[in-house]
Amino acid sequence: MSSRDDTVNGDDTARGTFDRRSFLAATGTVATSAIAGCVGGGGGSGTPTINIITWEHYARDDVQAAVESAVDVNLEITKSTSSADMFSGWQSGQDEQYDIAVPNNNYVPRFAEAGLVEPAPLDDLTNYPDIYEKFKDFTDGQLAVDGTSYGVPIRFGFYGYGYDSRDVPDHEESWSVLFEGVDGVDLQGKVALYDNHFKAMTAAALHLGFHDAFEGDRVTLSQSQLEDVKAALIDQKKSYLSSYIAGDASFVKGIKKGDFHVGHSGRMNLTNMWVDGNDWVKMATPKEGSMSWFEAAVVSKQSEHPDLAWEVVDEYIAPKTGATLAREGHAPSVNPKTSANLSERRNELYGSIDPSRLDGMIPFKAVENEDAWRSAWEEIKTA
């Protein structure tokens, strides 16, 4: 989130598959090569090995080769499908197996508060000064505990809605389109929402103007706000809803078939469609703000090569390597200088982003009283 945008309140749907080394680690049987970085081992050439647990795109051959050639290191990469699994694994001792993890932004404080990771040496990172100011703010904010930053942002994406421009003209981009339609366009029964309480209810909350709910460390709806969100989603279901969609495949299939003309979506989902030549689908970034994800790398306290590990992290946001990762993963880097290493077409898809478009990014956070959200969602689904 794979479509990287499949992130739901700190959990993630599949973006790759665990390899054999993950299975061995999970069962307590760890291959020697998988722990080389933390015990000081390396390849037969004597080149140090750094072990990383991260998403599938980081394990692509071109991305791995770019890092290894720039840093002179051997990378052992385990593909994960979930930030939650990364965190629980490190709590269970995998912090001794891996030098680096790359979870979603909202998991970095958990790693830090559990005492699993080193502070990030931001002043020593060559490429960090070049990242978007918005992500420096996130580094000093969400990625920090008691004023100390523990993670370094790598790449990002955000939610909005996709629409079929053949049926829906350009319009003011707003979450209200999913709930009230577009003037002059019949969208009755032609709008899709994610079948997920967090994604659907945050969209409704932003539509209703509950911006205060997104301040602080958690997303917090008052009881009256929760009731208003529930009512808005029930009304939307009766008037505009085509279907609740499970994820990317459902969105792509539905909008191609014409089952709906507007659908709740992550930007990476649309990017993948554009790569396949479907330029008729457009991405809207609602004026009220967008729930957003970004990945941030952390380094284990148990690593015997912490300086080298941070070099590897820094290389992921270097202009050339960051561009390679963007190309392989169809998601933009936090470093706008990657755009110089992407073609004009690729820049349109996942290159440099106008910083003003980042102003409305609302990073994923935990939910206060999530049981009440789940209960409300069940009422919505059965209404």
Let me know: does 248 contact 281? Beta carbons within 8 Å.
no
Beta bridge partners of 54: 79
What is the structure's pLDDT at 333? 96
Q: What angle do CA 113, 118, 121 make, to 5 degrees?
A: 125
Identify the architecture of domain 159-291+365-382 in CATH: 3-Layer(aba) Sandwich (3.40)
- Which band of pLDDT confidence, cut at 50, 70 and 90, is reported for residue 3? very low
Percent of the chain's residues with pLDDT above 70? 88
What is the structure's pLDDT at 266? 87
* Domain spans in the chain, listed from the N-terminal domain onward: 7-156+293-363, 159-291+365-382
What is the structure's pLDDT at 280? 97
pLDDT, mean over the chain: 88
pTM: 0.82
Q: Regarding the domain delimited by 7-156+293-363, which CATH topology (the fold level of the hierarchy) does it fall under?
A: D-Maltodextrin-Binding Protein; domain 2 (3.40.190)
Q: Do domains 7-156+293-363 and 159-291+365-382 have the same CATH topology?
A: yes
Joined tokens for residue 219: 């997303």
CA 237 to chain centroid, in Å, comes to 27
Joined tokens for residue 27: 């069962």
Let me know: does 45 contact 72? Beta carbons within 8 Å.
no
Let me know: does 39 contact 51? Beta carbons within 8 Å.
no
Alpha helices in the chain (DSSP H): 20-26, 36-39, 61-71, 83-91, 108-113, 133-140, 176-180, 197-207, 223-239, 248-257, 267-275, 306-316, 319-329, 344-350, 370-382
Nearest to 315 by CA among 52, 14, 134: 52
Joined tokens for residue 296: 């941030």
What is the structure's pLDDT at 167? 96
What is the structure's pLDDT at 21? 33
Predicted confidence (pLDDT) at residue 39 exceeds the cutoff of 60:
no
Region 30-59 average pLDDT = 69
pLDDT digits (tens, 9 = 90+) for 110-133: 999 999 999 999 999 999 999 999
